[in-house]
Amino acid sequence: MSQYTAPLKDIAFVLKQVVGLPDIRQLPGCEDVTDDLVDAIFSEAGKFSSEVLAPLNRSGDQEGARISNGEVTTPKGFKDAYWKYVEGGWSGLEAPVEFGGQGLPHVVATPVSEMLGSANMAFKLCPLLTLGAIEALDQHAAQDLKDKFLPNMVAGKWTGTMNLTEPQAGSDLALVRTKAVPVGDGSYKITGQKIFITYGDHNYTENIIHLVLARVEGAPEGVKGISLFLVPKVLVNADGSLGARNDVKCASIEHKLGIHASPTCVMMYGEDNGGAIGYPVGEINRGLEYMFVMMNAARLGVGLEGVSISERAYQHALVWARERVQGRPTTPVPASLGQSPKSVPIIYHPDVKRMLMTMRAYAEACRAMIYWTAKCLDLAERSEDEQTKRFNQALVDLMIPIVKGYSTEAGIQVTSLGVQIHGGMGFIEETGAAQYYRDSRISAIYEGTTGIQANDLVGRKVGREGGQTALALIEEMQKTAATLNSSSDTNLKAIGKTLNRSLEDFKRATEWIAMTFKENQGAVNAGAVHYLMLAGTVCGGWIMARSAIAAADLLAKGAGDTDFLKAKMLTARFFADHILPFADGYCEAIVNGASSVLAMEEAYF
């Protein structure tokens, strides 16, 4: 089994040279985010991830979460790891200072979250959802609720969940049936069933704070009649002490393809005592609006899981490729292998190199793309200039479905390549490659499938605004292409040539969607996933091009790690040569492929 090593060089390079960490230091509350502080945080996060979490990844997968007599237990070592996580201060990294958090910007917290996910994706899901719950409560709950619940959640003493869907609803939350009946003292009794609740119950903490979507009697039909309630596992007294057990329980946990160590729960509200006590968050009937705060945070976090699992699968496959000896070489090999060796490590075979470079290129492109989105989020939240805030919020809204959908689809492809590099041994559980493939598969499904993300992208984010934000982003990307085209560096020129073509495709598809959406939404939706993949491909190519420019500049100055910078240049060139050309095919499918989709009838299936 390979070990996980945090990619600290690439993380630092992307933040400091590509995303622009110095810009973040200009924002209110970020003045102390120095290079030394950031390096120290990442170094400690890397150690915690590799030394505490990574060793539990395999054993956690094998043991899995379990339920007995209504109590859920996580695999051996997970609870201890959670409290080491809490004691290390990681739970409050980006949480509000008002409630005991450190208030660090997203660009600092995001790489830490990536490392946690690479080391142990099943473990990382619990903190991810707790953070989303904290954000939703901080933005929309009444002050008394925030004062009562947030300090313990920020401290990691209590965890949080989100309870959205139900057996009959799936992704259509308009069909939610869970009921909320007013008690008369401001609280409500909640009754109903929720499914697919990640860490809905566990043995980490003494209390779990559930955010639950439910309908108050007489509410409007559909999503306009959904409210949001805070429902604690254990009731909290006025003085902050724990009281009686609430009428909420886990009925069962799901048997899943992957992430076995993460309990995915069926939650029952009000089955034993007539209703679980819940407290309204914000105004009645605006619950889905409030929950979108948590959902967007989760979507960005899930997109990051695609990076995490890609990095881990790449490292695992790289070790195997260096050690597995098989096949005669068809290209020159190092003299240390002897002259005309009968067999060599498979890393010397061109197709294996191609697969490894594909894994690496996707991981690095998606990492940089998500870090850049995190920076936009920081600017949207913290900038004192209203125009900057509005524009960056528009970019965040555009990018969240892209990074969620594209990065998770990339994760599936990368982990599949990891299995392929192992050959037949990759299909055997003992080598460990299969776990990354299994674990990656859920990321493209939960928090909205790739299709749902794509429809959101072409509808709310492009179609309804006439492509304004997407076209503005394309214009910004064209500036990068111009820099590449004017360079005398062969690699940069080659990257620029391909980036130019892909930007033409991106612009053509965006303008087609803006023109077609109002008249034929079905035609747009038929190519929605292709558009999401086109956008992700071009954004990934653009951010890798920026990485190449930064690397070339440092090399010209004789600064930085020469081997690392040359490798970064090569990876960016590989992305441009092997991945960016897919943009043309996506564009053609979007613009010309709708008719063959819409013509299909049930009889054909």
- Residues with a catalytic annotation lie at 447
CB 148 within 8 A of CB 187: no
User: Which amino acid belongs to residue 438?
Assistant: R
CB 213 within 8 A of CB 176: yes
Which of the 8 DSSP states describes residue 325? B
Altogether, the residues listed in the chain come to a count of 605
Extended beta strands in 353-473, E state? none
Instruction: In whole angstroms, give the CA distance from residue 440 to residue 420.
Output: 15
Report the relative pairing of strands 158-163 and 66-68 from DSSP bridges: unpaired
**Selection from 365, 415, 321 nearest residue 578 by Cα:** 365
- In the chain, count of helices (H) and strands (E)? 20, 12
Question: In angstroms, how far is the first alpha carbon of the chain from the final one?
Answer: 43
Long-range Cβ contact pairs of 417-424 (< 8 A, separation 24 or more): 417/313, 417/317, 417/355, 417/358, 417/359, 418/313, 418/314, 418/316, 418/317, 418/359, 420/355, 421/317, 421/320, 421/321, 421/346, 421/352, 421/355, 421/356, 422/317, 422/320, 422/324, 423/324, 423/326
Q: Dihedral through CA 418, CA 419, CA 422, CA 427, nearest 10?
A: 160
Instruction: In whole angstroms, give the CA distance from residue 101 to residue 379.
Output: 19
CB 365 within 8 A of CB 499: no
Reduced to 3 DSSP states, what percent helix, strand and coil does the chain have, rounded to the nearest 5?
A: 60, 10, 25
Handedness of CA 421, 427, 433, 438 (dihedral sign): positive
User: Which amino acid belongs to residue 24?
Assistant: I
Residue 169: alpha-carbon gap to chain centroid: 24
Instruction: In whole angstroms, give the CA distance from residue 31 to residue 105.
Output: 11
Instruction: In whole angstroms, give the CA distance from residue 72 to residue 56.
Output: 18
CB 281 within 8 A of CB 211: yes
User: Which amino acid belongs to residue 598?
Assistant: L
357's tokens: 């470079």
Rg of the chain taking only CA atoms, in angstroms: 24
- Residue 252: φ, ψ to 5°: -165, 165
